[in-house]
Chains A and B, each alone.
Chain A
Amino acid sequence: MRQKLIVAMLLVSSALLVRNLYTILLDFPDEANQGAIWRIFYFHLPSALTSFIGFYTGAALSIMYLWKKDLKYDALAAVINEVSLVFASITLITGMIWARIAWGIWWAVGDHRLTSYLVCILMYAGYLMLRRSVQDPAQRASLSAVIAIFASLDIIIVWKSIEWWRGNHPGPVLSIRNGGGMAAGWEGLAYWNVLAISLLAIPMILIRLKQEQMQGEIDSVRRFAHEV
Chain B
Amino acid sequence: MKTLRQALVITRKDLRAELRTKETLNAAVSFSISVLLLFSFALDPTPDQTAEIGGGVLWMIFLFAGTLVFNRSFARELPNDCLDALVASPASSAAIFLGKCFAGFSMMLIVEVLSLPVFVLFFGGRIMDHPGQLSVTLLLATWSVTIMGTTFSALTVNLRLRELMLPVLVYPMLLPAMLAAFRLLTMLVAGQAIGSEDLQWLRVLFGFDLIFTCLALALADSILVN
Residue positions of A touching B, CB distance < 8 A:
66, 115-116, 119, 122-123, 126, 129-130, 133-134, 139, 142-143, 145-147, 149-151, 153-154, 157
The tally of residues in B whose CB lies under 8 Å from a CB in A reads: 23
The CA-CA distance from A129 to B165 in the complex, in Å, is: 9
With A115-B175, A147-B155 given, is the CB distance from A130 to B215 under 8 Å?
no
User: Contact between A126 and B172 (Cβ–Cβ < 8 Å)?
Assistant: yes
User: Contact between A133 and B165 (Cβ–Cβ < 8 Å)?
Assistant: yes
With A133-B165, A149-B215, A149-B219 given, is the CB distance from A139 to B158 under 8 Å?
yes
Q: Of A66, A116, A146, which contacts B176 at CB under 8 A? A: A116
The CA-CA distance from A53 to B173 in the complex, in Å, is: 20
* Extra 16 A-B pairs, beta carbons < 8 Å, given A115-B175, A139-B226, A146-B222: A119-B175, A122-B172, A123-B172, A126-B165, A129-B165, A129-B168, A130-B156, A130-B169, A133-B161, A139-B158, A143-B156, A149-B219, A150-B173, A150-B215, A153-B212, A154-B173
The CA-CA distance from A177 to B85 in the complex, in Å, is: 52
Please, could you name 8 A-B residue pairs with CB atoms under 8 Å apart, sorted by A?
A115-B175, A123-B169, A126-B169, A126-B172, A133-B160, A139-B158, A146-B151, A146-B222
B171 to chain A, nearest CB (A): 8
Q: Of B159, B175, B223, which contacts A116 at CB under 8 A? A: B175
Closest to B160 in A: A133
User: Contact between B172 and A119 (Cβ–Cβ < 8 Å)?
Assistant: yes
Q: Which residues of A contact B211 (CB under 8 A)?
A: 153
User: Contact between A66 and B215 (Cβ–Cβ < 8 Å)?
Assistant: no
Closest to A124 in B: B172
With A116-B176, A146-B219, A154-B173 given, is the CB distance from A126 to B155 under 8 Å?
no
Per CB-CB distance, the 3 closest pairs between chain A and chain B, nearest first, are A122-B172, A123-B172, A119-B175
The CA-CA distance from A150 to B212 in the complex, in Å, is: 8
Q: Which residues of B contact A157 (CB under 8 A)?
A: 176
User: Contact between A66 and B172 (Cβ–Cβ < 8 Å)?
Assistant: no
The CA-CA distance from A145 to B176 in the complex, in Å, is: 21
- The secondary-structure label for the interface of chain B is helix
The CA-CA distance from A217 to B16 in the complex, in Å, is: 47
- The secondary-structure label for the interface of chain A is helix
Closest to B170 in A: A126
Q: Is B225 an interface residue (CB 8 A)?
A: yes
Closest to A151 in B: B173
The CA-CA distance from A123 to B148 in the complex, in Å, is: 13
User: Contact between B168 and A126 (Cβ–Cβ < 8 Å)?
Assistant: yes
Q: Which residues of B contact A123 (CB under 8 A)?
A: 169, 172-173
A25 to chain B, nearest CB (A): 37
The CA-CA distance from A119 to B168 in the complex, in Å, is: 11
The CA-CA distance from A143 to B212 in the complex, in Å, is: 16
Q: Which residues of A contact B225 (CB under 8 A)?
A: 142
The CA-CA distance from A116 to B179 in the complex, in Å, is: 11
With A133-B159, A133-B165 given, is the CB distance from A142 to B226 under 8 Å?
yes
User: Contact between B222 and A66 (Cβ–Cβ < 8 Å)?
Assistant: yes
User: Contact between A142 and B173 (Cβ–Cβ < 8 Å)?
Assistant: no
The CA-CA distance from A149 to B151 in the complex, in Å, is: 13
User: Contact between B165 and A130 (Cβ–Cβ < 8 Å)?
Assistant: yes
Q: Of B155, B161, B176, which contacts A143 at CB under 8 A? A: B155
Q: Which residues of B207-223 are within 8 A (CB) of A?
A: 211-212, 215, 219, 222-223
A111 to chain B, nearest CB (A): 12
Q: Which residues of A contact B223 (CB under 8 A)?
A: 146
